[in-house]
Amino acid sequence: MIAEKRELFRLALLDVLRLNPTRFGLSVPAAAHLMALFGFPSPNHQDVADGLDYLERKGLVEQAIKILSPENRAWRITTEGIAYLDERS
């Protein structure tokens, strides 16, 4: 993925997570499904997982705590992620 498209992809992931402000977050398949709303109709699940991991390292998203079935990872946007998106608009 070229740099410009990667940036748009990561911004779309943040937008997707902002659509779901619950404490439960979204899994990779759920986030991938919603990426179509932002111009990425069928993203590779590994690209979504890699994007979420990157955003987590930057502090813009965090993993939702799952007591039951923690292997089914889910992410949610942080207040820093919301602030980042708000600064861009």
Q: Which pTM was predicted? A: 0.93
The token duo for 51 is 């994007």
Q: What is the pLDDT of residue 3?
A: 93
Q: What is the pLDDT of residue 68?
A: 83
Instruction: Report the pLDDT averaged over residues 58-74.
Output: 91
Instruction: Report the pLDDT averaged over residues 61-79.
Output: 91
Higher per-residue pLDDT: 24 or 66: 24
Host domain of residue 64:
3-88
How do strand 61-63 and strand 75-77 relate by DSSP bridges?
A: antiparallel
| Tens-digit pLDDT profile for residues 2-50 | 999 999 999 999 999 999 989 999 999 999 999 999 999 999 999 999 9
pLDDT for 87 beyond 90: yes
CATH label of the domain that carries residue 82: 1.10.10.10
Domains held by the chain: number: 1
